[in-house]
Structure 1
């Protein structure tokens, strides 16, 4: 479904990604793990068109993402839940969800998608007319994921969904990821909570200093000495 080949990217003269190769197949959940500053968020921004790579290729179901205007990338079926959620805090939950369905292709499915989001997140239905900025961190994360799902994506990009949340809420977020996966949606998730994410994905990539250092099934990554020493405290 998604294929990155030899991607270099950064910000001005600062290079954050070096020759990244990554693949996500339809129906998979794939994790990207690594330390702070490894390039994980840059990777997500490159895929969703927020920044353009200096070199390399990105294809979504065979379509060249790099020649697609940034505002049209969501129409390829890519929805990005950014780090720190990036909701519109002064708008209601309802209006934030409407923003997720702004693409022409998504508008006629609005009622159907809203029903799906409310079924997945009953709390959002309860808070429908509440200002998004007044909700708890966990509720805001639900709203951010719900907003992305409103576009009826094929691929959901989740950037650090557990960041800044209390441990009990982190558990809830990963349960939600499992439910999203069970619905058949393809997921690429960037996460520092290595043990948690490796329990919900099929495969994972380890990125360090902007380069892919290792990859394998979730079981292989959990058994990897490199991952154990660096991230699991073993």
Structure 2
């Protein structure tokens, strides 16, 4: 479904990613793990078209994303939940969800998608008229994920969904990821919470200093001595 080959990217003179190659197959949940500053958010921005690769190739269902404008990438079926949620804080929950259905095809199915999101996140139905910025961090994360789902994506990009949340809410967020997966949606998630994310994905890549250091199934990485010592504290 998604394939990156030897991708390099960065900001002006600063290069953040070096020769990144990875793939995500239809129906999978794949994680990119690693420390803060490793380049995980840059990777997500490159895939969603917010920044352009300096080298390499990115393909989604055979389409060249490196040559595709960001708004067209959304139309192809990729929805990005950014780090720190980036909600429209002064708008209501429902209006934030409406912004996720801005494309003509999604606007035509707005009510159906809204019901889908409210069924997935009943709390948002209760808070539909509440100003988004006044909700708790966990509720805002639900709203950010719900907004992305309004476009009926084929691939959902989740950038650090547990960042800044209390431990009990972190568990709820990963439970939400499990529920989303159960519906057959393909997910690519970048996350520092290695122990939690490896419990909900099929495979993972370890990104350090802008490069892929290792990859494997979630079970393999959970058993890896180096990853257990560096990221799991055991």
Q: TM class by shorter-chain length?
A: over 0.9
Counterpart of 1:155? 155
Q: Does 1:34 align with 2:4?
A: no
Gaps of 5+ in 2: none
What per-residue deviation string (whole Å, max 9, x for no partner) do you get for residues 17-43 of structure 1?
000001000000000000000000000
What per-residue deviation string (whole Å, max 9, x for no partner) do you get for residues 50-107 of structure 1?
1001001110100111111122110010000000000000000000000000011211
Q: Does 1:130 align with 2:130?
A: yes
What per-residue deviation string (whole Å, max 9, x for no partner) do you get for residues 196-215 of structure 1?
00000000000000000000
* Counterpart-to-counterpart distance in 2, 1:69 and 1:193: 31
Counterpart of 1:172? 172
Question: What SS is found at the alignment partner of 2:56?
Answer: strand
* Counterpart-to-counterpart distance in 1, 2:219 and 2:69: 38
TM-score (norm 2): 0.99
TM-score (norm 1): 0.99
- 1:154 deviation in Å? 0.2
Gaps of 5+ in 1: none
Q: What does residue range 59-138 of structure 1 map to in structure 2 within 5 Å? A: 59-138=59-138
What per-residue deviation string (whole Å, max 9, x for no partner) do you get for residues 93-133 of structure 1?
00000000001121111111111100000000000000000
Aligned residues, how many?
234
Question: What SS is found at the alignment partner of 1:158?
Answer: strand
Q: What does residue range 196-215 of structure 1 map to in structure 2 within 5 Å? A: 196-215=196-215
Counterpart of 1:232? 232
* Counterpart-to-counterpart distance in 2, 1:162 and 1:70: 25
* Counterpart-to-counterpart distance in 2, 1:229 and 1:14: 30
Counterpart of 1:192? 192
Counterpart of 1:218? 218
- 1:149 deviation in Å? 0.1
Counterpart of 1:5? 5
* Counterpart-to-counterpart distance in 2, 1:22 and 1:110: 33
Counterpart of 2:14? 14
Moved over 4 A (4+): none
* Counterpart-to-counterpart distance in 2, 1:65 and 1:46: 9
Question: What SS is found at the alignment partner of 2:52?
Answer: coil
CA RMSD, Structure 1 to Structure 2 (Å)? 0.5
* Counterpart-to-counterpart distance in 1, 2:145 and 2:104: 20
